[in-house]
């Protein structure tokens, strides 16, 4: 009973325990905190677009040259330049653009044929968002179990094997991963299927031998059966279920979910390599530290199951660094999927941005940077705000 009293005394007071008037104060503080974040967000976005506009003017791209092609005459180029307003002073062009944004109008592309910039972004953003969403979800789905088990078996064979493979993932540039996946899954899919079958057969045979030997030693055959069974399942699934992946192109969800997922599968795999490695290494490190803390040791001493100790006691408090990195990763991926977009010819925001920089199409570049900055800053602000709910220590410093 004494322990319960101590917990009640040290825990930050809940809403119901607040004296009259403190609820309003806290709401006001919350509003101020969120407002300050929004102001900071807007000022960052304004600064980014201002700098990017003038930097873009220093780059060599020219929408007029792109629109007219190499066989144009200088007179034609001058005429189109004037009609697009590119002969006006740079600051005037920037203010025009800013006026439009304030009224919710991103303008039209300078690249011909001229199209509304908002439409261009709206067409590209879903592709990039789908890539990012699937990449993050898949990376986390693989990284979290790997990290948990690696931390549990730290220094053992499984942990060392996973670490070695992950170092390889981190060292592999995105375009190499993308081209390797194309070579294997697009052009040598039969070889991959056959390898899957061979893996399944070999795993089955070796598992049976290992289980038989374990029985003879009067040891439990369960570890061999679990490990070998997993290998059989993976190999069998590769053999039986590996779909036909396209070499390039994007199929929208409206044309069928299966076709859509098949079209983005390889790009997503290519993007996940690095993320799996980073997420796993980060979470594993935090978990190893957490597993050595007194409350976890106490939990173990009380005879709690391994699953309870790993998931309930250790995983949640170890997630903070991972959440931060996931937020940063989402921000980076918004404009950073350009390599896989290029290799797989996907119409995402990254490829639009690069093409627009090349063409000097500043309304598109500005709008894309605006969106990227907004997503980046918003995600990170949300993470900051989430901290205050997840971690009482942060709440003490930034009261919400």
Mention every residue, 6+ apart, whose C-beta is less than 8 A from residue 172. 273, 274
Sites for another protein among residues 270-309 (CB under 8 A): none
The CA-based dihedral angle spanning residues 220, 221, 224, 227, taken in that order and rounded to the nearest 10 degrees: -90
User: For residues 12 and 323, what is the distance between their CA atoms, to the nearest angstrom?
Assistant: 23
Please identify, using beta-carbon distances, which residue of 42 and 179 lies nearer to another protein.
Answer: 179
Sites for another protein among residues 357-376 (CB under 8 A): 358-360
User: For residues 251 and 50, what is the distance between their CA atoms, to the nearest angstrom?
Assistant: 36
Q: Which of 45, 48, 56, 67 binds another protein (CB under 8 A)?
A: 67
Binding mask 183-222 for another protein (x = CB under 8 A): ---xxx-xxx-xxxxxx--xx--x--xx--xx-xx-x---
How many degrees, rounded to 5, is the angle at CA 357 between CA 354 and CA 360?
150
Please identify, using beta-carbon distances, which residue of 197 and 328 lies nearer to another protein.
Answer: 197
- Work out how close the CB of 236 gets to another protein at its nearest, in angstroms, rounded to a whole number: 13
CB 379 within 8 A of CB 132: no
- Work out how close the CB of 277 gets to another protein at its nearest, in angstroms, rounded to a whole number: 19
Q: Which DSSP state fits 140?
A: H
Tokens (6 digits) for 116: 């509304």
Please choose, out of 145-153, 248-256, 323-331, 383-391, the segment that lies near another protein by the rule CB under 8 A: 248-256
Tokens (6 digits) for 82: 């004037």
- Work out how close the CB of 203 gets to another protein at its nearest, in angstroms, rounded to a whole number: 6
Asked if 65 touches another protein (CB under 8 A), the answer is: yes
Asked if 76 touches another protein (CB under 8 A), the answer is: yes
DSSP string computed for 186-229:
IISHHHHHHHHHHHHHHHHHHHHHHHHHHHHTT--SHHHHHHHH
CB 264 within 8 A of CB 345: no
Sites for another protein among residues 306-325 (CB under 8 A): none
Distances (CA, A) of 112 to 34, 58, 243, 354, 356: 42, 21, 38, 16, 11
- Work out how close the CB of 393 gets to another protein at its nearest, in angstroms, rounded to a whole number: 41
Q: Which of 161, 171, 176, 298 binds another protein (CB under 8 A)?
A: 161
Please choose, out of 37-45, 140-148, 182-190, 377-385, the segment that lies near another protein by the rule CB under 8 A: 182-190
- Work out how close the CB of 93 gets to another protein at its nearest, in angstroms, rounded to a whole number: 17
How big is the site for another protein, counted in residues (CB under 8 A)? 71
- Work out how close the CB of 181 gets to another protein at its nearest, in angstroms, rounded to a whole number: 12
Asked if 64 touches another protein (CB under 8 A), the answer is: yes
Binding mask 116-155 for another protein (x = CB under 8 A): ----x--xx-------------------------------
Sites for another protein among residues 6-35 (CB under 8 A): none
Please choose, out of 13-21, 50-58, 228-236, 306-314, the segment that lies near another protein by the rule CB under 8 A: 228-236
Asked if 227 touches another protein (CB under 8 A), the answer is: yes
Q: Which DSSP state fits 116?
A: B
DSSP string computed for 20-33:
TTHHHHHHHHHHHH
- Work out how close the CB of 242 gets to another protein at its nearest, in angstroms, rounded to a whole number: 13
Q: Which of 112, 118, 163, 332 binds another protein (CB under 8 A)?
A: 112
Q: Which of 97, 250, 362, 370 binds another protein (CB under 8 A)?
A: 250
Q: Which of 22, 293, 316, 345 binds another protein (CB under 8 A)?
A: 345
CB 196 within 8 A of CB 239: yes
Distances (CA, A) of 78 to 6, 53, 69, 87, 355: 80, 22, 13, 9, 22
Burial classification of residue 320, based on how many CB atoms lie within 10 Å of its CB (0-12 exposed, 13-18 middle, 19 or more buried): middle
Please identify, using beta-carbon distances, which residue of 199 and 390 lies nearer to another protein.
Answer: 199
């Amino acid at each position: 009973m004494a322990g319960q009293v101590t917990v009640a005394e040290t825990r930050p007071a809940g809403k119901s325990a607040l004296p009259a008037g403190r609820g309003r104060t806290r709401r006001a503080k919350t509003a101020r905190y969120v407002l300050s974040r929004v102001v900071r967000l807007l000022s960052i976005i304004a600064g980014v677009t201002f700098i990017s506009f003038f930097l873009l003017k220093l780059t060599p791209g020219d929408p007029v040259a792109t629109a007219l092609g190499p066989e144009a005459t200088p007179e034609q180029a001058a005429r189109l330049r004037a009609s697009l307003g590119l002969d006006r002073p740079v600051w005037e062009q920037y203010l025009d653009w800013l006026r439009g944004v304030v009224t919710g109008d991103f303008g039209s592309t300078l690249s011909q044929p001229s199209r509304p910039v908002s439409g261009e972004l709206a067409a590209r953003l879903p592709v990039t968002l789908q890539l990012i969403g699937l990449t993050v979800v898949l990376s986390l789905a693989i990284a979290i179990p790997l990290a948990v088990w690696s931390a549990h078996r730290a220094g053992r064979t499984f942990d060392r094997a996973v670490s070695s493979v992950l170092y390889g993932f981190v060292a592999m540039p995105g375009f190499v991963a993308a081209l390797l996946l194309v070579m294997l899954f697009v052009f040598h899919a039969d070889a991959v299927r056959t390898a899957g079958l061979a893996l399944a057969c070999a795993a089955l045979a070796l598992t049976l031998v290992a289980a038989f030997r374990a029985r003879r030693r009067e040891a439990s055959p369960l570890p061999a059966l679990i490990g070998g069974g997993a290998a059989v399942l993976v190999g069998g699934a590769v053999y039986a279920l590996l779909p036909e992946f396209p070499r390039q192109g994007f199929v929208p969800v409206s044309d069928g979910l299966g076709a859509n997922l098949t079209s983005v599968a390889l790009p997503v795999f290519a993007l996940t390599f690095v993320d799996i490695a980073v997420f796993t290494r980060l979470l594993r490190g935090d978990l190893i530290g957490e597993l050595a803390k007194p409350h976890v040791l106490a939990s173990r001493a009380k005879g709690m199951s391994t699953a309870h100790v790993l998931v309930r006691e250790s995983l949640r408090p170890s997630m903070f660094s991972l959440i931060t990195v996931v937020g940063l990763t989402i921000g980076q991926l918004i404009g950073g999927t350009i390599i896989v977009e290029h290799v797989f010819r996907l119409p995402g925001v990254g490829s639009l941005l690069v093409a627009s920089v090349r063409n000097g199409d500043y309304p598109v570049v500005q709008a894309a940077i605006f969106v990227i900055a907004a997503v980046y800053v918003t995600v990170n602000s949300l993470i900051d705000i989430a901290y205050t709910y997840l971690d009482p220590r942060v709440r003490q410093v930034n009261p919400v």
